[in-house]
Amino acid sequence: MEIVIHDSPQRLGEVAADAIAALLAADPTAVLGLATGSSPRPVYDALAARCERGEVSFAQARAFTLDEYVGLPADHPERYRNVIDADFVSRVDFAPGAVQGPDGLATDIPAACAEYEAAIVAAGGVDLQILGIGTDGHIAFNEPGSSLASRTRIKTLTRQTRLDNARFFDGDPQAVPQHCLTQGLATIMAARHIVLLATGRGKAEAVHHLAEGAVSAMWPATILQHHPHVSVLLDSAAASRL
Ligand code: GLP
């Protein structure tokens, strides 16, 4: 596990953008894994600026998102698909249909999850996965207690995550959906390179477990200790318990 500490979120975003730009230079058809949340935003800002300057292109690339709330209407601004479109996809030159996400409005949820897993495999797997981390150590929406061998499935959000995410729902935890679809821990582990970003003191305990804790389903991000190529990009507050 490679750990990079820098206090400028912009600088951390540039480090991740460098890795993605190098990947796309070597293989313009590369498959990216996209994460929603505030932590990856500097990466998307850096990539959008580089795309605008003609330094990087996503025209032949593909991408898969990590997770989605169940039941939010298609036009809801906090539906993760709409968030990632606004934060990143609409700002660069992906071809139509090149970015896929789990369908939180599917009527047959197990079938939709299996189809999503199959689509990732059919695309050749994810070359580089961007990740954030929850304060309770979740990655994507794999909450504490998630099977370390899990694949895309429906999960119930914890009280802590609904409290954390209430800021996107007018501060009301009750407005945060109770369920989500999420790539599993084994799905994420199949990515060839994982770039995790965490900033702020609120992430320090989770980062401590991620890097130095025992591998445990109670701190799901600890599974990344078994991955051969993980880059962890932190500010000093998030790194303060290392
Ligand atoms: C959500 C998402 C995760 C994300 C986490 C942290 O729960 N499902 O993918 O990593 O929040 O978000 P943030 O980066 O905004 O702190």
User: Mean pLDDT over all residues of the chain?
Assistant: 97
What is the chain's Cα-based Rg? 17
Instruction: Establish whether residue 37 lines the binding site of ligand 1, counting it when its CB lies within 6 angstroms of any ligand atom.
Output: yes
Task: Give the Cα separation of 112 and 130 in Å (integer).
Answer: 23
- Rounded Cα distance between 97 and 89, Å, is 11
Distance CA 60, CA 7 (A): 33
pLDDT at 161: 87
Q: How far apart are CA 127 and CA 165, in angstroms?
A: 28
Q: For 26-54, write each residue's pLDDT tens digit.
A: 999 999 999 999 999 999 999 999 999 99
Q: Determine contact, residues 47/57, Cβ cutoff 8 Å.
A: no
Fold for 2-234, please state it: Rossmann fold (3.40.50)
- 67-92 confidence digits (pLDDT tens): 999 999 999 999 999 999 999 999 99
Q: Which of 14, 143, 164, 235 is catalytic?
A: 143
> Taking the chain, what is the end-to-end CA distance rounded to the nearest angstrom?
13
Q: Cα–Cα distance between 174 and 30 in angstroms, integer?
A: 39
The residue annotated as part of the active site, out of 136, 193, 209, 235, is 136
Ligand 1 pocket test target in 34, 38, 39, 162 with most atoms within 8 Å of CB: 39
Which pairing describes strands 230-234 and 99-100: parallel, antiparallel, or unpaired?
Answer: unpaired
Annotated domain spans of the chain: 2-234
Which of 72, 174, 64, 178 lies closest to 121, judged by CA?
A: 64
Pair of tokens at residue 56? 């990087």
Dihedral of CA atoms 184, 142, 169, 105 in degrees, nearest 10, equals: 30
Using pLDDT thresholds of 50, 70 and 90, give the confidence band for residue 160.
confident
What per-residue confidence (pLDDT) applies to 188? 98
Which atom of ligand 1 is found nearest the CA of 141?
Answer: 8
3-class DSSP state of 104? coil
Dihedral angle of Cα 43, 46, 49, 54, to the nearest 10 degrees = -90
Amino acid code (one letter) for 128: L
* Segment 122-149 mean pLDDT: 96
Burial 78-117 (b: 16+ CB within 10 A, else e): ebbbbbbbebbbebbebeeebbbbbbbebeebeebbeebb
Amino acid at residue number 73: P
CA–CA distance, 228 with 224 (Å, rounded to integer): 8
Q: By alpha-carbon position, which residue is closest to atom 2 of ligand 1?
A: 140
Quickly count: other Cβ atoms within 10 Å of residue 176's Cβ: 20
Tens of pLDDT, residues 113-133: 999 999 999 999 999 999 999
Give the relative orientation of helices 9-26 and 41-52 as an angle to the nearest 10 degrees.
60
